[in-house]
Structure 1
């Protein structure tokens, strides 16, 4: 069994350095909040060695302190890949040898989705976290259709370009989920008549539904003006 501790100034002293940002204006109170967070993280004693305002309402901190946690290297589990990680040069060589032509990849965000950060990190040359995107590979032809692309347009582009791979991103909201069988459809925007139609027979309201303009339910008209009391219930005037 091998037990180790963090190393700072001397062997096994347990000193560590962490950095983080808090949504608080730069002040002495902000430094105290950073120390409180460091203590809850197990750093004691701890000290703020650097603090800098990041705009008007944020502060960046560097905290240095001691932890008492130990690490048992015999209990560390490492998940290895089931396949070798190829370099861009090796990947280009495999594509050229296997397909004998450039690989075509089509990507898009379909529907009303405009969140292109994830798919751009895969397709664009800049990539993510130091890893280059598919545009960096010479043997890969990337077709990025962007955001809010309809499904027919995506299919047409994939067929026209004879794509080898299609990357699709869609942001699924709660209102986009289909109602389960035997349940009332309560999706946003569904009218009362629609919910009545999709509801099971034993759960439908007994009162008939009256449709008004644009297919929406309209309650029966109310009597205008102030409701009069019966003559016998009226108070006598002096």
Structure 2
């Protein structure tokens, strides 16, 4: 009993110290990113590029959110994992770049091989994000590089379905390029996405079906739901810029 009473406070203390260390490391990361490539390179001499921070974000997520093109380019040259998901919406750095409408960064990530059809916690691909925000330049960039129009999010919507209607002419143009052709529609209506199964007992010994679409109520992504974003707080001559993707700190 006495031993248990001693171990519990020790565990709590260690947990507190671990959280404090993580918070300090994240602050150091943001300061380094704000100071440029050389400082970031020095930071990475002691911390690996695969280090995870708040909400499982990598240094690439932070570099994108802070719109540090040169640092993103540097990280890409170091073969950082481009498909890693993290953040409040558990998505790739490319999806973050699309959301923030950072065209140059998005193009850089696409040109270096970021998978285009990865889905976030809401089942949205990069094309969904571009379409629902009416970013026609991003939509064209993604489509010209092979992004699929035929992926359904957690609500059963394709990118075509999420184009905002209030944008009038812009919406019409977006819908015209995102519209599924007849063959794609037929394929979608008769299939379930991403699965295969076999039916035994058929007269000819069984048949294998390839499935393209499956819709369920709720999230289609097997990640925990995060209800809200929390801010990164640094007071040293910095400006906090808020968005519904979370808060990052940009230096003046």
User: TM class, shorter-chain normalised?
Assistant: under 0.3
TM-score (ref. length: structure 1): 0.19
Structure with higher Rg: it is 1
Please identify which structure carries the higher strand content. Answer: 1
Please identify which structure carries the higher helix content. Answer: 2
TM-score (ref. length: structure 2): 0.19
